[in-house]
Each structure stands twice: as structure tokens, then as C-alpha cells.
Amino acid sequence: MSSRRTVSLITLGCARNEVDSEELAARLEAAGWQTGDDDPDVVVVNTCGFIDSAKKDSIDTLLAAADSGAKVVAAGCMAERYGAQLADALPEASVISFDDYAEIGERLDDVLAGRPLVPHTPRDRRTLLPISPVERSAAQAHIPGHAQEDPLPRGVAPASGPRTLRKRLGSGPVASLKLASGCDRRCTFCAIPAFRGSYVSRAPEDLLAEAAWLAGQGVKELVLVSENSTSYGKDLGDLRALEKLLPRLAETEGVERVRVSYLQPAELRPGLLDVIASSEGIAPYFDLSFQHASGPVLRRMRRFGDPRRFLDLLDQIRERAPEAGVRSNFIVGFPGETQEQFEELVGFLEEARLDVIGVFGYSDEEGTEAYGFEGKLDQDVIDERVATLTELAEELTAQRAEERIGTELEVLIEEDLGDGGYEGRAAHQGPEVDGAVTVQGIGLVPGQIVQAVAVDSEGVDLIARIKAGT
């Protein structure tokens, strides 16, 4: 086997997977692998296994990687969820588990040498951790994105303090910081807890050290990611841990903005709401997991809320921060959803004035409680409701963007478009999925924050001019 071993990492799915890929990159380089090669010996695909469309995308990507002539390894959520079943169905790829991450260099050595890997039999990863949240930190189960090692190889985060394994694969001014992993909620449509495991928070000092390292890498905006950020700290014995942590993260030298993603409405405490809405350096941005608005549908999802409660929450947010950004995703066609309940969701969205609305059609997921529910809707009914709500969402979010014309924006510049044009995001816009702001200027650089005024909109995107004197 050649001493030159090269690997390319392809990441699918959410920002949490991106952080996991950066752990893999750090481990691989420590094991002597060279990452980022254009003609790699091995391609590792960090798959997504959440819904049918994501699984199809993962399979297509694995097959395309195999067509390149490289050896292919399936990692991530889909690989963890299906294990040997995926290996049997897709012999083009070797399949690894989260438990293989600690020895990822050795696993890839085996693949490159032609030694077959024995794929794992999937198991409910919640069984690997104690039921009591406060006892989980002492458990030995591998949790992607939480790994530590001492000493660390050169160039891996951070240089001092808690020894978290991470190597940045991008170079932009925005980076995700994994707050926690897993989930203790029991939503009837969701399989994530079974293959991601129970909820485990990262220690505040680990997060602060990694934030400082990211700032040293040129990161200006930290995006806190997890399956449920509002649960942060419950296993550390402090339900107010997030509202204490956020101001400390915002004080990190070099960090201009901290953003929190994935908030559960039922767990959004007044104190946490105040910190996000009103604290310097923290984006007034609320990524709320509503999922539906009809009370009966939400109960069948094993969730909480109804239109009035959700609208009251939005009022509380906007009383504190009138220009706050609010986004959410919604599932339509859930088993038993009536036309009246669907129309209740439509009515809620017409009142809610959300900046971004994600629409997903319900799909059966094996291993979930809803998989066995009666009252399944025909696929053509689901497709029709998705199309109706998607069209409405595009109209409503475009209207919301128009409402922002004339308002002042703090825009983080992310890309030079040429000819004096720059693309960035305002505080109300999350990365990649929430629209962008285009500004005209001279000599701006990625990572710079400029004061601007919105002068026009195109869909959810804004066009702005830089304020005089900035």
C-alpha cells in the first residue's frame, strides 16, 4: 500500500453533520491521511437518514462516488441507522458506525487494502446511555462532535484548554458549534433519537474553548447547533445553562455574532427568550420547531401547542425585538390530518409573519410510532397539500421580506460577487436556508459587518445600500 493515502469527505444533511465531518477530518489527518484531494483513494460520504428524500440523496451520492473509481465509505446517520442492511443493498460502499469514528484511520486503511469491514447491526443508541440525564457525561458511548483527545495533532482545535478534535473543512466567516447531541423527546414521526441517542450537552468550557479556536480561524459568526438547543444543560444540572452560556460566547474575542438554531417552543423559557432577543452580540433569531399548528395534529405528533399559543409566543418575541427573524418547518399530511386541520395551519401561517417557512410532506419512517398509525393519507392528497402550502409560503415570506424594506440591517459579508457587489446575511437570516442580502460597496471583505438599509427585495432575499459613514 502506498504511503500516500488521500481521502475526500462529502457531507450531506444538516450542520450537525458538518461538525461531525470536521471531527473525522481531524482524526484522519492524525492517522496520516491527506484530506481534500481532488483524486482521492477513498471517498467518505457523511450521509443523512432523516426522511425519504434525504436517504435517496445519500444513495445517489454514494453511487456517484463509486463511479469515480475511488473506494467508498458510508458514514453518518443513514449508515448508522441501517448498518448491515445498507451494506447488503449497496455493495459499492463499506458501511461504518459512529462507534468506528475513533478508529476511522484504521477503518480506511482496511478499505484501501481491500480488507472487508463487518457492518454493524443497528441498535437503539438511547440504550447506550443512562436514563438519567445527569449520569450521561460519564458514559463511554461515542458521540460524534464530542470527541476529545490529548495530545492533539498540530492544527487541530483548540490549541489549549479542552482537547476537542476538529479540523475546519471550510474557510468562510461562519461556523457551526455543536451545543449538544441526541434528543429525549418522543415525537411520533421522528427516528432521530434512535440512531443519534439520548440528549447529551457539551460542557460550557469545551464550547468556549472551541469558540475561541474558531475565532482564531477567522470565524465571525457562531451558529449553535443541536437536535434541541432549548434542552441544553438539563444533563448538567442547570436548565438555565444556555442563557448563561450565550453572553460568554458573545464575549469571545473576534466573534461578532452568535446565533442559536432549533428551539422547541414548549421549552422556550422567558429568561432564554430575553437573552436571545435583547443581548448584544446575539442574533435576535428564533428557529422555532412548530411542525404544525392544529392542536389535535400536534398531540398525535406528541408535541404541544396550538395557533393561539404559538401566536402569543411570536408576540412576546416581537415585543422584545420587533425585527427579530423567525423561521420554522411544517409537516403536512400527517396521519389523520383533516382538511379543516390543514386549513387551520394555513390560517396560522397567514397570521404568523414568519421570515422562512419550510414545508415537508409526511413520510412513513420505520421504527417511529406514527409508522403504525391508522388514518394514513393518500400520497396524492399529501402532494397536493405540500404544493398548496409551498406556494403560500413563498408568497408569505416574500411579503415578510417586503416589510423589511426601509429597515436598518447589520450585514455580515460572506462573498465578493464582483463588480462592487457583495453577498451577506443580516441578523434575521440564518446561513444557507434563510435568504441573503446583496449590497453594493467598495473594498468590503468577507467577515466584515456593515450597517445597511434594505431598499428592495426579491423573494426572501433583500437588496441593501450601505449607510453613509460606515
**Angle (deg, nearest 10), helices 204-216 and 241-250:** 20
Q: Is 187 annotated as a binding residue?
A: yes
Q: How far apart (Å, rounded) are the C-alpha atoms in residues 291 and 266?
A: 12
What does the chain come to in residues? 470
Q: How far apart (Å, rounded) are the C-alpha atoms in residues 298 and 196?
A: 23
Q: Is 48 annotated as a binding residue?
A: yes
Q: How far apart (Å, rounded) are the C-alpha atoms in residues 397 and 356?
A: 6
DSSP class of 157: S
**Angle (deg, nearest 10), helices 339-352 and 379-403:** 10
Q: How far apart (Å, rounded) are the C-alpha atoms in residues 347 and 334?
A: 17
Cis previous bond, 204, omega within 30: no
By 3-state DSSP, what share of the chain in percent is helix, strand and coil, each rounded to 5?
A: 40, 20, 40
Phi/psi at 135 (nearest 5 deg)?
-95, 0
Residue pair 285/427 in contact (Cβ under 8 Å)? The answer is yes
Work out the widest C-alpha separation in the chain, in whole angstroms: 65
Element (H, E) at 423: strand 421-425
Q: How far apart (Å, rounded) are the C-alpha atoms in residues 297 and 284?
A: 29
Question: Based on C-alpha coordinates, what's the Rg of the chain?
Answer: 22
Amino acid at 183: C
Secondary structure of 345-386 as H, E, C letters: HHHHHHHHCCCEEEEEECCCCCCCHHHHCCCCCCHHHHHHHH
Binding-site positions:
14, 48, 77, 183, 187, 190
Binding-site positions for [4Fe-4S] cluster:
14, 48, 77, 183, 187, 190
